[in-house]
Structure 1
Amino acid sequence: MCGIVACRVRDHAAPVLLSALRNLEYRGYDSVGIAVSTEIGTLARIRTVHRIDDLEHRVNDWNGARLGNVGIGHTRWATHGAVDEANAHPHCDCTGRISLVHNGIIENCDELRATLTTSGHQFSSAVDSEVVCHLIEARLAESSDLFDAVQTAVTQLEGSWALAVLEESTGRLVAAAHHSPLLLAHNDAGTFVTSDPAAVSEWASEFHILRDGDVVEAGETLRWRNSGLMIDPPTPVDFARTHSPAELRGHSDFMDQEIDEQPVLAAKLIDELGPAIANGRLWDELGLPPFDALQIIACGTSMHAGRVIAQTLGRLAAVPTTLTLGSEVAYDVVLPRTLRLAISQSGETADVLRALDHPVPTEVRTLALTNNPHSTLSRRADAVLAYSAGPEIGVAATKTFVAQVIVGVCAVLSALVSSGRLSVTATLELVEQLRRLPVQLTTALEISRRVVPAIAHDLSTASGFLFLGRGSALPYAAEGALKLKELSYRWAEHYPAGELKHGPLALIEPGTPVVAVENGDPRLRANISEVRARGARVVTVGYDGSTIPVLTGEPTPWGPLEAVVPLQILARAVALELGRDVDKPRNLAKSVTVE
């Protein structure tokens, strides 16, 4: 989480930083700030616990020395320390000589803080990032060279970091990274350091990706070190923008727009992948060996998509599957000839990346499923499935969930036909079912737009919700519950409907909303009767006769994907009834880069 930008440009740095921070706000929005060189050799530090617009006003109202051409910026997702201006980045040392922005977690910050305090350093915040400032300050007392001081300081750190350090008077800028994404562009427009290339795509398209342990001085020329040794910069990667800047096109918020984009995205993905499924080409081109078991590694919405993929594989070919939350991988045993499918929208999810460090048999291979083919996850995997959903600005995932399910299912089908576990004839029939998805999603949108707002209005005063499903519907019930939690800040739990009598039924009282997702399993009717008999307010998502009748056709191995549409719209509508910011829910961020 958190977003970093730094730049050295010909003219004024502040407008570049503000534009970049607006593009990085999805990574955290608890606070935001910049530090910029001035014409008299000082650093102007401007911070706020409000959004980018407030920072822009503060910059425009700045009445100090004229702002210069070098600066750093940061948008924060709080880890250490409360959300207040003292804890907002950039941070500075005791003398004000340097300012620093940091993304990551310094695991030994308490020990370092105690040692530095004993040495006379005074801290003004509760964040771990400030420790790095004072550590660099202490090293500067020994070497007086910023590049050397940063290099020495990071050798004392444990944990993860992406750093940009700015020195007053000289305007020197140094960046460093370890287990946290950071990229650098150096061209005629200037030098740019960022967590996400899209943040500065107006000025740069080719970026050097900092490797673990890299320390770089971003001056008129680049000085690049790793482990204390001068090295050549890594080969630049082309991140040429393929999508227009994020803008609302007749929608009130990005989430609403991204929900609407799902049928078109589904059609695009199926058109691209469909011809390569039944002949096994989609799988064969990945270059991965055959597998006897599947391990899904993911978090949040990506885990729900992973469960759909795993269930599809299990139903069609009885392949054993394991679902592993990235943060809990240490307790899993991975057998030989297992395929690890690591799923992350950003490709930078720290829990997923750390999970890949868990030792596995040498023949185990990793396949990444991500929206970012240039991400850390993509670089670490043996093969990559990039689903190219385009930018998703809303923090709560919508279209990327649909994309993950479709691309993952297509890959599973192709793998099964390639290995002879599924016939070409059967696969072609399944591909035809996939081709119906865009129309089914469109129909679900049309029905949901008409039906759901009134339901959301009636349910908006409820304190909590229960989501039920059976079999292939269960991952969609789980995703519906997660969306409602993320957006409305109401508790929402999902359960297999058969588990009601084993405890969750105690939650039901008159008026409790219960959302049941159908998949054709007749046993669900009895479970609905059980909650209705106890006064629950039941909302069914299913076939004709249900509250929200969006399902058509026979059940598929991947379950009722179109059911996710009314669940997304329900969560958004309830949140709007409660006055929530549906694009930027409290306490959350889009790219989860801390464990």
Structure 2
Amino acid sequence: MCGIIACKTHSPSAAYLLTGLRRLEYRGYDSVGIAVRTAGGDVVRMRTIHRIDALERAVDDWDGAAFGGVGIGHTRWATHGQATEVNAHPHVDCTGRISVVHNGVIENAEALRRDLASSGHRFATGVDSEVICHLVEQRLALTEDLLAAVKGAVVALEGPWAIAVLEESTGRLVVAASRSPLVVAHTNVGEFAASDITALADWVDEFQVLEDGDVVELTGVNGWHDPDKTVVTPALARFIWRAGDSGRMGHADFMSKEIEEQSECVARVLDEVGDRISTGALWSDLGLQCFDRVRVVGCGTSLNAGHVIGNVVRLLGGLPVTSTVASEAGGSVFEPGTLMLAISQSGETADVLNAIVDDAAGGSPLLALVNNPHSTLARRADAVMTCSAGPEIGVAATKTFTCQIVAGVAVMISALVAAGRLSRTAADTLVDDLRRLPDRLAGAGSVAECIVPALADELVDASGFVFIARGVGLPYAAEGALKLKELSYRWAEHYPAGELKHGPLALITRGTPVVVVDDGSPKLATNVSEVRARGGLIVSVGPLGSSIPVVDGPAAPWGPIESVIPLQILARSLAIALGHDVDKPRNLAKSVTVE
């Protein structure tokens, strides 16, 4: 992990690489580097364990031969080997002829390393990606053609990978992918490849997605070259980049901007699908059969959104729902009539992709809920529902969470109507409630911005937090605890409020912050009393009279979604008070392409 870019451009490539790498920052990284061919025919590598600003300064300070138009770049999130400059990409072979950037994991790297070392290859790092350089080097001893060498080399690789290979002597650039995303684009400024289309947003509005096993050369002429004609050129896809997607637009950080955007994003989702919910058309248009039960698969924030969606199916349709952590999906038993709902913001989450393989999914129809309709998960699913949140730059998910909920709830309500399990009249009432959400989210943001930052200042010395809720409020307590952990680096655990007396009350001492997501459950007051009796500090998010009064009216089947805004603001405010980078929390990545 975590992101690669390669280009063959008509002007110096370094500027394009740096811009693309900045677009990839949101995925999270702990080192960054480029390899650029100079006008003199050499390849210069620059790497750093600092931010892209440091790499940009190194490029500006370069006083050697002018940079040419061919280069590769990488942001790394360490999986094999520590985050050091030596371990940073690009990596090279024994001679320096071949430079490689790689996204993914080579699962058989150690076995390949032993074989290559026994053949005389010298390794500079313990990083799995380095074996690719030496495999290509080995194949070049048999053929002088880079494209053929890469095709031969990747046959030995096991696991998900996407690579770009630069040859110093010729300036040739070959890219390949298997089970890891890679897109290519031909533009009027040159040819590009990247693990994420957002890296190319400044120059690209059409692109193509490599299929598993594709190996092609960026020629700088036609954008897609395979002389053996073994690769079918995929169809063009279009990419729309809104002007405000790449900038903070006056906000101190992207997280602040993306929290504020949630009401607008939810309105956009409802504008796209609202008229087709209560008719059942939203579901019917997907081409899937009706179902008798649902299995939700996801990780982290996406799984929390899945719990909300599952509650709606259970409460409105009376259907059984199972939620599964994707990394633990192996061995799941599927019953007939099951719909598998796989949720991933990026659509590239390795754990989710592994959970949907045919033998694991039991042949169940698969509906993907993603923010990227061109992602691997979307391409492998039987049908796709996009959450239309737009690019999310902050590593900690905010607007994708709310958009996943609204899109997922919309399609499930529509499915229940199509199956005759919910009347159109009832669905119309639910859709009316959904259409009020943008205003409610905006109002919650206004209230929270006035109250939460000062509250966070009071809690800055707390070593840990407990989040509690009941029923439909519980997924929001889980998401609030996750956000606080991600950003503040304080421990935070969530529990069903009724479980406090079965163990978690041992955590409560005088002053322990207990965040209560109040959905109006009458039993919740007793649980809050239990905390107060032990000296816990109650911070309630709920209706009028709460510490943060943002929930308007009785809880809907999807729960008190307004509560997520102050929970996000609390995590952000606390992190800022502690001096943390809220856009790039430590040790975390946005697109988690390893298991």
Q: TM-score, normalised by structure 2?
A: 0.97
Once the two structures are superposed, the pairs formed by residues 141-180 of structure 1 within 5 Å of their partners are 141-180=141-180
**What is the aligned partner in structure 2 of residue 311 from structure 1?**
311
1:503 aligns with 2:496: no
Change (3 A) 1:388 1:243: farther
Is the deviation greater in 134-143 or in 291-300?
134-143
Once the two structures are superposed, the pairs formed by residues 216-231 of structure 1 within 5 Å of their partners are 216-219=216-219, 220-221=221-222, 230-231=230-231
CA contact (8 A) 2:27 2:393 kept: no
What amino acid does structure 1 have at the position aligned with 2:504?
A: P
CA contact (8 A) 1:214 1:224 kept: no
Q: Kindly state the Cα deviation for residue 334 of structure 1 after the two structures are TM-superposed.
A: 1.2
1:106 aligns with 2:106: yes
Q: Kindly state the Cα deviation for residue 224 of structure 1 after the two structures are TM-superposed.
A: 5.2
Paired with 1:129 and 1:363, the residues of 2 have a C-alpha distance of: 34
Paired with 2:235 and 2:324, the residues of 1 have a C-alpha distance of: 34
Task: Report the secondary structure of 2:177's partner residue.
Answer: strand
Q: Kindly state the Cα deviation for residue 188 of structure 1 after the two structures are TM-superposed.
A: 3.5
What amino acid does structure 1 have at the position aligned with 2:28?
A: G
**What is the aligned partner in structure 2 of residue 428 from structure 1?**
428
1:203 aligns with 2:233: no
Paired with 1:583 and 1:232, the residues of 2 have a C-alpha distance of: 39
Paired with 2:74 and 2:360, the residues of 1 have a C-alpha distance of: 37
Task: Report the secondary structure of 2:516's partner residue.
Answer: strand
**What is the aligned partner in structure 1 of residue 571 from structure 2?**
571
CA contact (8 A) 1:274 1:431 kept: yes
CA contact (8 A) 1:225 1:231 kept: yes
**What is the aligned partner in structure 1 of residue 67 from structure 2?**
67
Paired with 2:112 and 2:586, the residues of 1 have a C-alpha distance of: 31
Paired with 1:538 and 1:240, the residues of 2 have a C-alpha distance of: 45
Is the deviation greater in 198-207 or in 411-420?
198-207
What amino acid does structure 2 have at the position aligned with 1:503?
A: G
Paired with 1:132 and 1:372, the residues of 2 have a C-alpha distance of: 29
**What is the aligned partner in structure 1 of residue 461 from structure 2?**
461
Aligned residues: 594
Task: Report the secondary structure of 1:282's partner residue.
Answer: helix
Paired with 1:344 and 1:533, the residues of 2 have a C-alpha distance of: 41
Is the deviation greater in 554-563 or in 184-193?
184-193
Is the deviation greater in 234-243 or in 519-528?
234-243
Paired with 2:474 and 2:240, the residues of 1 have a C-alpha distance of: 39
Paired with 2:363 and 2:119, the residues of 1 have a C-alpha distance of: 51
**What is the aligned partner in structure 2 of residue 447 from structure 1?**
447
Please give the per-residue CA displacement for 1:25-48, whole angstroms capped at 9, x wherever unaligned. Answer: 122320111001112211000111
What amino acid does structure 1 have at the position aligned with 2:162?
A: A
1:355 aligns with 2:350: no
Paired with 1:383 and 1:188, the residues of 2 have a C-alpha distance of: 34
Please give the per-residue CA displacement for 1:364-417, whole angstroms capped at 9, x wherever unaligned. Answer: 211111111111111111111112111111111111111111111111111111
Paired with 1:573 and 1:461, the residues of 2 have a C-alpha distance of: 13
Change (3 A) 1:16 1:222: closer
**What is the aligned partner in structure 1 of residue 118 from structure 2?**
118
CA contact (8 A) 1:336 1:363 kept: no
Please give the per-residue CA displacement for 1:269-294, whole angstroms capped at 9, x wherever unaligned. Answer: 22332221221111111111110011
Query: RMSD of the alignment, in Å?
Result: 1.6
CA contact (8 A) 2:216 2:224 kept: yes
Paired with 2:521 and 2:204, the residues of 1 have a C-alpha distance of: 53
**What is the aligned partner in structure 2 of residue 182 from structure 1?**
182
What amino acid does structure 1 have at the position aligned with 2:486?
A: E
Q: Kindly state the Cα deviation for residue 208 of structure 1 after the two structures are TM-superposed.
A: 2.1
Unpaired runs of at least 5, structure 1: none
Paired with 1:364 and 1:168, the residues of 2 have a C-alpha distance of: 48
Is the deviation greater in 355-364 or in 166-175?
355-364
**What is the aligned partner in structure 2 of residue 541 from structure 1?**
541
CA contact (8 A) 2:268 2:388 kept: no
CA contact (8 A) 2:331 2:360 kept: no
Q: Kindly state the Cα deviation for residue 204 of structure 1 after the two structures are TM-superposed.
A: 2.4
Q: Kindly state the Cα deviation for residue 347 of structure 1 after the two structures are TM-superposed.
A: 1.2
Is the deviation greater in 519-528 or in 228-237?
228-237
**What is the aligned partner in structure 1 of residue 301 from structure 2?**
301
Change (3 A) 1:429 1:240: closer
Paired with 2:201 and 2:544, the residues of 1 have a C-alpha distance of: 48
Paired with 1:63 and 1:213, the residues of 2 have a C-alpha distance of: 40
Q: Kindly state the Cα deviation for residue 148 of structure 1 after the two structures are TM-superposed.
A: 1.6
CA contact (8 A) 1:216 1:222 kept: no
**What is the aligned partner in structure 1 of residue 282 from structure 2?**
282
Paired with 1:583 and 1:200, the residues of 2 have a C-alpha distance of: 21
Please give the per-residue CA displacement for 1:101-138, whole angstroms capped at 9, x wherever unaligned. Answer: 00010011111111222222221112101111112112
**What is the aligned partner in structure 2 of residue 271 from structure 1?**
271
Change (3 A) 1:264 1:204: closer
**What is the aligned partner in structure 2 of residue 132 from structure 1?**
132
CA contact (8 A) 2:351 2:594 kept: yes
What amino acid does structure 1 have at the position aligned with 2:495?
A: Y
Paired with 1:255 and 1:221, the residues of 2 have a C-alpha distance of: 39
Paired with 1:590 and 1:545, the residues of 2 have a C-alpha distance of: 37
Q: Kindly state the Cα deviation for residue 243 of structure 1 after the two structures are TM-superposed.
A: 4.9
Paired with 2:224 and 2:435, the residues of 1 have a C-alpha distance of: 52
**What is the aligned partner in structure 2 of residue 376 from structure 1?**
376
What amino acid does structure 1 have at the position aligned with 2:21?
A: L
Paired with 1:576 and 1:85, the residues of 2 have a C-alpha distance of: 28
Paired with 2:361 and 2:302, the residues of 1 have a C-alpha distance of: 25
